A = this chain, B = another copy of it.
Amino acid sequence: MAEQQKPVGGGSLLIAWQLKDKKVLIVGGGEVGAQRIDSLLTTDANIDLVSPSAGLHLRTKKFLEQYPSRITHFDQSFSFPDTQQTAASIDVGAYDMVLTALDDTALSRKIVQACRSIRVPVNAADIPDLCDFYFGGQVRDGPLQIMISTNGNGPRIAALIKDRVKGALTGKEGEALIKVGLLRTKLKERAPGVGGDVGKRRMRWMSRVCEQWSLEDLSHLDEEAMEKLLDEGWERNEVPTPPEVSKESRSWSWVEVFKSNATRSLPSAASFAAGIVFAQFIFSVWRGKK
């Protein structure tokens, strides 16, 4: 049988790394260091930044001011435990992940070697062969995170694709996901138990709600509507429609539908008008000829 029935290989394993309460070391606080801090603020990691103050980028400084409880700044150059230096030594083994953002390639290489010898995941900015993982373009809307990776084939095109992906979202995805999470929590309080029949029934009902309700409708769920949805839906093993659980649902629905469709409807409306004008023109030519 052919080994290549579909294109395989050549790619990366795209994963969502968990850093809640983990310790991450960033070495270097320049422009790239600031980007790394930005990526890590998305997570619940504790960040240690090793960088002399003189080398801090403006964005890095702002992050340090804004998130003092998230980032600890060590105003010094990186120094290994086995070297005799005045600055405090840094033990990469104390971290769950290490990111270097340095101009000094030789130092980056040494840090990566130290990390790899004890299997600490490591990324050295701009040195692909020293990276256990790469970063990519990121889109975030609350609990929704999207990553775009071109596997190093074109940063410009990645930016273009990122814009296209952003444009494909309605802006309601994050809110809808938050509301679905809340609804699931309420449902678990009402029908507790891990796994088994109740767990399966909960999962099935939640899936039906997510299938039958639009993202738009889900994002508008409030406390009252959730309770009604559970009372009239879950308890009777049904899925009421959005207007059935919210008195106001119809009114906002139309406004939102108009707003979200405006960009798509406008070209059609313009074409419709153009059709009228065109017919008028033909008609007037025809009348003129008569």
Q: Kindly specify which of A52-60, A79-87, A150-158, A237-245 makes contact with the partner chain.
A: A150-158
Q: Contacts A157-B210, A283-B279 given; indicate if A10 touches B136 (C-beta within 8 A).
A: no
Q: Dominant SS at the A interface?
A: mixed
Whether a CB of chain B sits under 8 angstroms from the CB of A118 is yes
Complex Cα distance, B15 from A126, in Å, reads 15
Whether a CB of chain B sits under 8 angstroms from the CB of A88 is no
Please tell me if the beta carbons of A12 and B17 are within 8 angstroms of each other in the complex: yes
Q: How many copies does the complex hold?
A: 2
8 Å CB contact of A153 from B1, B65, B178: B178
Please tell me if the beta carbons of A17 and B13 are within 8 angstroms of each other in the complex: yes
Per-position binary interface string of chain A over residues 113-136, scored 1 when its CB falls under 8 Å from any chain B CB and 0 otherwise: 000001111010000000111111
Q: Kindly specify which of A26-34, A38-46, A222-230, A249-257 makes contact with the partner chain.
A: A38-46
8 Å CB contact of A136 from B14, B44, B161: B14
- Tally of chain A residues near chain B (CB < 8 A): 92
Name the distance in Å between A150's Cβ and chain B's nearest Cβ: 5
Whether a CB of chain B sits under 8 angstroms from the CB of A107 is no
Q: Contacts A17-B12, A133-B18, A143-B10 given; indicate if A180 touches B164 (C-beta within 8 A).
A: no
14 contacts between A and B (CB under 8 A): A3-B68, A8-B70, A9-B44, A15-B134, A143-B153, A144-B149, A153-B178, A153-B180, A156-B211, A267-B268, A268-B271, A269-B271, A270-B271, A278-B279
